[in-house]
Amino acid sequence: MSRGDLFPEIEPFAAGFLPLEPVIDGRTTNGEMPHVMYWEQVGRADGRPVLFLHGGPGAGAGIVHRRFFDPHVWRAVIFDQRGAGRSRPQGSLRANDTDALVNDIETLRRHLGIESWVLFGGSWGSTLALSYAQAYPERVVALVLRGIFLGRPPEMDWFLYGLRSVFPDAHAIFAQHVPEAERGDLLTAYLSRLVDPDPAIHLPASRAWSVYEGTCSTLLPTPGPVTGFSRDRAALGLARIEAYYFRNGLFLPPEGLLGRMDRIAHLPVEIVQGRYDMVCPPVSAFDLAASWSGARLTMVPDAGHSALEPGTRRALIAALERFRG
């Protein structure tokens, strides 16, 4: 896949690890491994702040994500959410929920001395961006959201079962990883394996879950997402944390994200959605735009879920242009 319309590869001008919990002799007060967040900044130190929020939950950020941001304009902050990517401990579910992630973002903002920022997130990153904006609207200037996921039960059911109607072959492989007697509740079957301490059990389950998601993420078959999703470290963080969040309704409020839109109705937002997004179907983007008077929805006619599909990445970079200041 050509990525010529992304900005050139760039190295961070700053990076570090930020402790998220009180530590005594390298452990929490309960004697457990503490959560430590990896973060980095690219672009201009005096540029307009923008925060990148990766998907999953649990997927982690990658080097390619730096390239969405014009380095002459943006001070782009990229981080791995707790338990994901380069953050430690990898794949940890302890003290890991949406409120914790929202608080982590605020901790990072204060640590970096940023007054307010643009939020840029896709898939679960759009969910987390909305959650943070609703909690701290005064810290958000604008939002660029892609592949909208509102965390509603039908969206999770679609991922676990509905995708079979479009990707029956991929779903069959996904379902066949567990015994036939357990396939009526794939989430429970997978989660029990993903939290098993034995790598011989949790690693194959994590690869099966992650490859399924990667296979269904692009409009046309693309080996890149599948290869990336199948690597053990990436697969474990994504599958374990994602299944755990699914089991807990994404730790969202009873009224859901759409029930709190009054808190951010004044903020401008660009919504970019692939017309053939099979992981996060377009109806969620449509529903979000309908509830947000300041929203502009761009439906990319030739794209699925991945942010790296040509039409989607061009639309995302164009959306950022609106908020460059």
Q: Is 44 helix (H, G, I), strand (E, B) or coil?
A: coil
Rounded CA-CA distance 267/132 in Å is 13
Q: Which of 54, 104, 131, 277 is catalytic?
A: 277
Nearest to 324 by CA among 117, 128, 54: 117
Which pair of structure tokens corresponds to residue 73?
A: 């304009």
Sheet bearing 117-122, strands edge to edge: 14-19, 36-43, 74-79, 48-53, 117-122, 140-146, 269-274, 295-300
Helix H or strand E encompassing 320? helix 310-321
User: If 0-12 CB within 10 Å is exposed, 13-18 middle and 19+ buried, where does residue 136 land?
Assistant: middle
Specify the long-range contacts of residues 182-188, CB closer than 8 Å, at least 24 apart.
186/160, 186/161, 187/156, 187/160, 187/243, 187/246, 187/247, 188/247
* 277 is an active site residue: yes
Contacts of 134 (CB under 8 A, 6+ apart): 257, 260, 263, 264
* 306 is an active site residue: no
User: If 0-12 CB within 10 Å is exposed, 13-18 middle and 19+ buried, where does residue 116 land?
Assistant: middle
* CA dihedral angle for residue 5, residue 11, residue 16, residue 20, rounded to 10 degrees: 10
Cα separation values, 232 from 196, 199, 235, Å: 15, 10, 5
Q: Which of 35, 65, 202, 305 is catalytic?
A: 305
* 116 is an active site residue: no
Q: Which of 54, 80, 104, 123 is catalytic?
A: 123
The residues that are catalytic are: 123, 277, 305
